[in-house]
Amino acid sequence: MSPRDVPDRQQTLRNTLDWSYDLLDPFEQALFRRLGVFVGGCTLEAAVAVCSSEGESEMRVLDTLASLVEKSLLQHEVDAGGDLRFAQLQTIGEYARDRLAACGEAQATQQCHALYYVTLADPLERAGRTSLMAALTPPPERAWLDGLHREHDNLRAALRHHLETRTVEAGLRLSLALGVFWTLRGYLTEQRRWLEAFLATTADVPAQLRAAALDRAGYLAHKQGDYTSARELHEAGVALWQEIGDVVRLQEALRSLAIDYWLTQEDERARVLLEDCLARARTVGDSAGIAACLQNLSHVARSQRDYARARSYL
């Protein structure tokens, strides 16, 4: 078939979609075009949160979604988590996004989509953060990880939106909220890339949030063996925690920085930082921090072949 036929076929498809869209009632049209914002489909809850107007009932949205399925403008399935999921075919999704832009609703819908996924990830991450190993146990922790995996493309779309619109605070919060998921599912490079992209902007964000993001990026660099970058990120974090005056987070950041120095064979610098960190941990009565400092000091002492001091720390 000649390439010259392609534009004609595309025009025919466009005319067919125009005809189908024009047959929809106003609410069906609005829901259809707003669904184009999702990547890889969405749950009923997400469709209600992102695509419906204020006050619209979940039942009306569900009925309208069913109508779009009947008209072959939407597909549906029950996902591995037992949730009903809706998705548009690629060509139909592109048409929906064109309509969304033509109606002047693209920016507002993308913003609503991005904020929805911040709220989806954040409270669940707080539950998982209490114990990293808890996320490896049966539901609800495993269900949370699997749920975020199914929404990963939408989460990436939300992060891209925050980066493109320079809504950096929301982008950093979402990046940090996904930390447990990304770590346990092996997305260290991706998480580090998002964090460093947001940190590279000049947008103003709360100092505590920026410091936490620096700590996390430093941790990821450390995990990947990039100790020079880890040290630079942790040094920036230490400076911010000092400025903020958060004693607990400062001593945690100092401990991370000391480990970076130790791993780059700067043992004496590491020892001085850990002694400082130990004193701060004792001041605030942080027994876990005290134990961690003593253990790390023992590693440094062993590197310096001072085994008696290493034993006393342990």
Does residue 133 surpass a pLDDT of 50?
no
Does residue 147 surpass a pLDDT of 90?
no
The residue-averaged pLDDT of 81-94 equals 88
Sign of CA dihedral 139, 141, 146, 151: positive
Encode burial over 33-53: b for 16+ CB neighbours within 10 A, e otherwise: bbbbbbbebbbbebbbbbbbe
Angle at CA 246, nearest 5°, toward 286 and 289?
Answer: 20
Burial class (CB in 10 A: 0-12, 13-18, 19+), 109: buried
Q: Which of 1-15, 158-172, 262-276 is the least confident region?
A: 1-15
Residue-wise pLDDT for 34-83, tens only, equals: 999 999 899 988 999 998 876 677 888 889 999 999 999 999 988 777 77
Q: How far is CA 205 from CA 201, 229, 235, in A?
A: 10, 22, 18
Contact present, 288 and 299 (Cβ < 8 Å): no
For residue 236, count other CB atoms closer than 10 A to its CB.
20
More confident residue, 122 or 41: 41
Does residue 126 surpass a pLDDT of 80?
no
Q: Which of 2-16, 219-233, 283-297 is the least confident region?
A: 2-16
Residue 153 has a pLDDT of 95
The residue-averaged pLDDT of 97-103 equals 93
More confident residue, 140 or 149: 149
Q: Where residue 2 falls among pLDDT bands split at 50, 70, 90?
A: very low
Does residue 136 surpass a pLDDT of 70?
no
Residue 57 has a pLDDT of 78
Q: Where residue 300 falls among pLDDT bands split at 50, 70, 90?
A: very high
Residue-wise pLDDT for 149-166, tens only, equals: 999 999 999 999 999 999
H and E: helices and strands count for the chain: 17, 3
Does residue 113 surpass a pLDDT of 90?
yes
Average pLDDT value over all residues in the chain: 87
Contact present, 265 and 257 (Cβ < 8 Å): no
Percent of the chain with pLDDT over 90: 63
SS3 18: helix
Burial class (CB in 10 A: 0-12, 13-18, 19+), 255: buried
Cα dihedral value 75, 78, 81, 83, nearest 10: 80
Does residue 125 surpass a pLDDT of 80?
no
Q: How far is CA 170 from CA 73, 115, 179, 202, in A?
A: 32, 8, 14, 14
Beta strands 42-43 and 75-78 are unpaired
Structure tokens at 56: 């619209």
Contact present, 213 and 195 (Cβ < 8 Å): yes
Residue-wise pLDDT for 4-15, tens only, equals: 444 666 677 788
Angle at which helix 287-303 crosses helix 247-263, to 10 degrees, equals 20
Overall pTM > 0.85: no
Residue 290 has a pLDDT of 93
Rounded CA gap, 212 and 253, in Å? 9
Does residue 248 surpass a pLDDT of 90?
no
Structure tokens at 274: 């850990």
Q: Which of 102-111, 135-144, 162-171, 205-214 is the least confident region?
A: 135-144
- 306: Cα within 13 Å, side-chain hemisphere: 14
